[in-house]
Amino acid sequence: MIVYIVIFVTLIIIDQLTKAWVVTAFESVGDTIPIIQDFFHFTYVRNPGAVFGLGGDSGYNYLIFIGFGVIAIGLFTYMFITNNWKDKRKWLYNIALALLVAGTLGNFIDRIFQPDHKVVDFLDFRGIWDYVFNVADMCLTVGISIFMFDQFILDPKRVKADANRA
């Protein structure tokens, strides 16, 4: 269990440090630093909405995102705490939970502590993707993918193996 706590705490720290760097290093929103010209840039964006900017800048919508954040953090934390840590076959599930907690908390921290309640995004793959994102978003995307793989592919095999042993 400690390993997974270290994973999600480390990822939250990386997420928050990179966002703090962007806020201090860039003069204004929209500023960009090309890392690989016309392919990968650091671009300072403040996202008022959810994934892909959904929900937008509509007054007090950030309160809805904070509410959903509280629910998601509660759910993922409950799943994390009640997990069967002794089952070594669930290591991928455990990594998924660590990523989901890190991603949710990373963006939740922005919603609470950024003065405008917007999430700081900066990773801009112009050559292949229209949206700018951050480390917390990567944690959520990878965490959801691993979680789905575990639940739909691996878990049925674990259940079947357990039934065959009984």
Helix axes 91-113, 61-81, angle to 10 degrees: 150
User: How many other C-beta atoms lie within 10 A of the C-beta of residue 161?
Assistant: 10
Supply the residues annotated as catalytic. Answer: 121, 137
DSSP 2-44: HHHHHHHHHHHHHHHHHHHHHHHH-SSTT-EEEEETTTEEEEE
Q: In the structure encoding, which two tokens stand for residue 69, read together?
A: 């954040």
